[in-house]
């Protein structure tokens, strides 16, 4: 069902002019991550030409990734608008490769990373237990939290003022952010759609006014060639089996983040979303692997799904998969036109910070919504809390992890990777001791409502079930037991509950025959005149609260089975 709050939903087709402008907004977010390949080349003493080559090839790989990800049919792609960026999860492993064998080794290991992720995607549907809502939700939120440090330094102007706030940078950043927020909250139509693009243009103007975008930088930008052939500068490929470990860990971290990103795409595009569609995510991860592999082939940095771009889609309420064609087309054009690409390269730091703050606000909240879509008990609280603490510990005390073995460095290279691995491991540990089938016996004088509510709430939280399903199930069981008590001199009844993430099943066992389930609601006359009127009403309400209910008698014992899709 089409979400009513979207301006351009998944299957909508915006006009070419609207699509181009929305595509430019997404490309402006993607461009922020081009700092990673530049940093990678600089760290190894590379030339400006090598940096330009790697940025251009990263653009081309991103173009392939966003188009493939939006494919609706076939084995590749989730069918959602989910652009790719140079993956921060791969930075540490890529630096190890660059120091060991230069750019050729980085590209060869990037191809390995794409192939390994493609292999993992084939078995992803069998690993659903690794991705409950609390794990995917905490990863999605942590993506935003991880970038706060980088965004904050740009927002406050630390590059200009050292560790002190630069007033000019802060002013430009505030003007940019307030423009974006104002247009998003209080405007309508195209101004709301293009709130980031307009805000960035205002930010560029403000930066020029206060001297944060010098004229000589713009002149240097315009001096770039209009067209070039980056493939002529390709350095080739090499491979080192010793680096497969660090890159495998980086792939795992990146893939789990992609699972969270694709889950968010499902949630914002489906009004009745209840759980991750693992088959769709499996295809999406394979599409993500395709973009990563393409980066290795072309000569770019490893690619990963972009949480910030999904946040942009939420903010602008435009999730049309058609936009992937515009984004891919713009990125491909920029890959061969350095004069145009350089416009994004000179983006003022405070504009970068403001844009990130705006987009990541939506991403952090999206993660919280995923986490709270399920009931939480002490186990899940520890999974969420300890994972966030482990992630932030890497940022707060980075010196504590400097001596870890090289194979584990990708895990502790960022708060996101540390949080992700911690969440997965804690989820596996805390699954120990959770029974998937439990039972309780209700005696003659027991308070039905109190006992059933406490029992179901406790189990629902342990299983991470949806609150509304547990509420319906609790009420259905209470209605049946209350009606049973009205109808007969009750013997003890046993309630057996089982859960497997996709289904909630309840069996009620008691002596005698099961209550008759009326197909229609009892009439007022039946309620007033029949001794069994209230019993029939309770049984009818019980049936209305379930997705399916059946009853049989076996060896003199009634067996009532209730079922809910989860």
Number of structural domains found in the chain: 2
Q: Are residues 371 and 478 in the same domain?
A: no
**Are the beta carbons of 284 and 257 closer than 8 angstroms?**
no
**Are the beta carbons of 452 and 495 closer than 8 angstroms?**
yes
Q: Are residues 446 and 413 in the same domain?
A: no
Q: Are residues 410 and 545 in the same domain?
A: no
Give me the domain span that covers residue 444: 437-565
Q: Are residues 278 and 359 in the same domain?
A: yes
Question: pLDDT tens for residues 442-454?
Answer: 988 889 999 999 9
Q: How confident is the model over 192-217, as a mean pLDDT?
A: 85
Residue 415: CB atoms within 10 A of its CB come to 24
**Tokens at 278, concatenated:** 């693992």
State the helix-helix crossing angle for 16-32 and 195-209, rounded to 10 degrees. 60
Q: Are residues 153 and 42 in the same domain?
A: yes
The vertex-388 CA angle with 386 and 394, nearest 5°, equals: 105
Question: Which residues, other chains included, contact 511 with Cβ-Cβ below 8 Å and sequence gap of 6+?
Answer: 491, 556, 557, 558
Q: Are residues 474 and 358 in the same domain?
A: no
Tell me which of 324 and 532 has the higher pLDDT: 324
Question: pLDDT tens for residues 160-171?
Answer: 656 788 899 999
Confirm whether 290 is domain-assigned.
Answer: yes
Confirm whether 7 is domain-assigned.
Answer: no
Question: pLDDT tens for residues 103-125?
Answer: 999 999 999 999 999 999 988 87
Question: Which residues, other chains included, contact 490 with Cβ-Cβ below 8 Å and sequence gap of 6+?
Answer: 444, 484, 510
Could you give the residue ranges of the DSSP H alpha helices within 408-548? 415-430, 448-463, 467-487, 524-529, 533-545
Indicate the residue among 430, 463, 492 that finishes a domain. Answer: 430
Per-residue CA distances from 152 to 35, 90, 119, 182, 358 (Å): 16, 22, 37, 20, 12
DSSP β-bridge partners for residue 565: 503
**Are the beta carbons of 124 and 285 closer than 8 angstroms?**
yes
Q: Are residues 71 and 116 in the same domain?
A: yes
Residue 100: CB atoms within 10 A of its CB come to 15
Confirm whether 11 is domain-assigned.
Answer: no
Where does the pLDDT of residue 465 fall: very low under 50, low under 70, confident under 90, or very high at 90 and above?
Answer: confident
Question: pLDDT tens for residues 289-346?
Answer: 999 999 999 999 999 999 889 988 988 899 999 999 999 999 999 999 887 777 766 7
Q: Are residues 237 and 118 in the same domain?
A: yes
Indicate the residue among 430, 450, 471 that finishes a domain. Answer: 430
Indicate the residue among 396, 430, 464 that finishes a domain. Answer: 430
Rg (CA), the chain: 28
Least confidently predicted of 270-279, 364-373, 492-501: 270-279
Q: Are residues 88 and 183 in the same domain?
A: yes
The predicted structure's pLDDT at residue 528: 64
Confirm whether 129 is domain-assigned.
Answer: yes
pTM score of the predicted model: 0.73
Task: Residue 500: give its domain's CATH number.
Answer: 3.30.565.10
**Are the beta carbons of 183 and 193 closer than 8 angstroms?**
no
């Amino acid at each position: 069902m089409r979400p009513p709050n979207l301006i351009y939903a998944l299957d909508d087709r915006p006009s070419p002019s609207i699509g181009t402008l929305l595509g430019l907004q997404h490309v402006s977010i993607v461009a922020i991550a081009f700092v990673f390949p530049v940093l990678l080349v600089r760290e190894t003493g590379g030339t400006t030409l090598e940096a330009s080559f790697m940025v251009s090839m990263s653009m081309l790989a991103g173009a392939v990734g966003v188009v493939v990800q939006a494919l609706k049919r076939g084995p590749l792609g989730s069918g959602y608008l989910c652009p790719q960026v140079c993956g921060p999860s791969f930075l540490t492993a890529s630096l190890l490769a660059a120091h060991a064998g230069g750019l050729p080794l980085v590209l060869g290991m990037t191809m390995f990373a794409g192939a390994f992720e493609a292999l993992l995607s084939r078995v992803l549907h069998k690993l659903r237990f690794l991705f409950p809502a609390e794990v995917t939700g905490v990863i999605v939120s942590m993506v935003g939290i991880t970038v706060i440090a980088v965004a904050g330094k740009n927002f406050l102007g630390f590059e200009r003022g050292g560790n002190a706030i630069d007033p000019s940078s802060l002013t430009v950043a505030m003007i940019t952010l307030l423009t974006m927020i104002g247009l998003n909250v209080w405007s309508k139509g195209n101004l709301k759609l293009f709130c980031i693009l307009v805000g960035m243009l205002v930010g560029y103007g403000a930066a020029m006014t206060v001297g944060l975008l010098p004229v000589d930088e713009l002149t240097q930008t315009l001096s770039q060639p209009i067209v070039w052939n980056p493939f002529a500068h390709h350095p080739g490929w090499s491979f080192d089996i010793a680096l497969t470990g660090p890159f495998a860990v980086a792939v795992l971290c990146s893939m789990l983040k992609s699972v969270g990103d694709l889950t968010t795409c499902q949630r914002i595009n489906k009004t009745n979303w209840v759980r991750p569609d693992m088959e769709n995510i499996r295809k999406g991860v394979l599409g993500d692997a395709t973009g990563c592999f393409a980066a290795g082939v072309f000569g770019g940095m490893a690619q990963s799904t972009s949480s910030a771009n999904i946040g942009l889609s939420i903010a602008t309420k435009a999730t049309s998969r058609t936009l992937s064609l515009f984004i891919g087309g713009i990125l491909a054009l920029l890959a061969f036109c350095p004069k145009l690409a350089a416009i994004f390269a000179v983006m003022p730091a405070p504009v970068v910070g403001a844009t990130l703050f705006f987009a990541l606000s939506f991403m952090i909240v999206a993660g919280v919504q995923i986490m709270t879509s399920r009931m939480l008990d002490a186990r899940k609280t520890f999974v969420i809390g300890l994972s966030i603490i482990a992630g932030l510990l890497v940022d707060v005390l980075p010196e504590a992890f400097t001596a870890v073995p090289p194979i584990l460095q990708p895990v502790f290279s960022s708060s996101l990777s540390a949080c992700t691995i911690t969440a997965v491991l804690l989820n596996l540990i805390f699954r120990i001791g959770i029974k998937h089938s439990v039972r309780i016996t209700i005696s003659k004088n027991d308070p039905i409502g109190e006992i059933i509510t406490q029992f179901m709430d406790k189990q629902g939280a342990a299983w991470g079930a949806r609150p509304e399903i547990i509420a319906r199930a609790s009420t259905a069981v209470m209605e049946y037991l209350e009606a049973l008590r009205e109808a007969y001199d009750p013997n003890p009844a046993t309630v057996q509950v089982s859960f497997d993430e996709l289904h909630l099943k309840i069996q009620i066992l008691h002596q005698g025959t099961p209550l008759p389930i009326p197909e229609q609601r009892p009439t007022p006359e039946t309620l007033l005149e029949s001794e069994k009127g209230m019993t029939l009403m309770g049984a009818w309400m019980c049936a209305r609260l379930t997705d399916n209910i059946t009853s049989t008698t076996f060896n003199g014992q009634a067996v009532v089975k209730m079922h809910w899709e989860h």
